[in-house]
């Protein structure tokens, strides 16, 4: 089980969010490919990837001699389900209520 704190911590850094964006654009990249997209040392990219991997946001798979990095959005979905979905519901209700008031009806 991945700790949600690790996910929030991993996301609280612009370089790591950019790494996730890079993987979202093209999944399954090697360290060298990722380094080419980022203005950071190889060591810095490695450290950021370790944080993302610990949070479960990046999965590494060996294909032959290449270690590929994949974006795993499942922990983000868990955050969405836990923290965002309920606010969407209240927003939808607010829009619905507004529509009823503007239209002057009370039967929906």
Partner 1 sequence: MARSSFVYVIYIAATPEQVWHALIDGEFTRQYWGHDNVSDWQPGSGWEHRRADASHALRLVGEVIESRPPHRLAITWAEPKDRAYRDRHSRVMFDIEPVGKMVRLTVTHDNLDADSEMDGNIRRGWPRVLSSLKSLLETGRPLETWAS
Distance of CA 29 to the CA centre of its chain: 17
Residues that bind partner 1 (CB under 8 A): 1-2, 27-28, 56, 59, 61, 70-74, 76-78, 81, 85
Between 16 and 56, whose beta carbon lies closer to partner 1?
56
Residue placing its CB nearer to partner 1 in the complex, 41 or 60: 60
CB 78 within 8 A of CB 86: no
Nearest CA-CA partner of 48 in 61, 35, 62: 35
Least distance in Å: CB of 74 to partner 1? Answer: 5
* CA 23 – CA 72 distance, rounded (Å): 9
Nearer to partner 1, 89 or 101 (CB): 89
């Amino acid at each position: 089980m991945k700790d949600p704190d690790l996910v929030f911590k991993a996301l609280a850094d612009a370089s790591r969010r950019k790494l996730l964006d890079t993987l979202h654009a093209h999944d399954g990249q090697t360290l060298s490919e990722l380094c080419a997209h980022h203005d950071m040392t190889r060591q810095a990219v490695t450290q950021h990837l370790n944080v993302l991997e610990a949070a479960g946001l990046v999965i590494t798979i060996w294909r032959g001699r290449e270690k590929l990095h994949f974006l795993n959005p499942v922990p983000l979905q868990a955050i969405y389900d836990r923290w965002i979905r309920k606010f969407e519901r209240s927003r939808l209700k607010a829009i619905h209520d507004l529509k009823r008031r503007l239209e002057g009806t009370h039967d929906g």
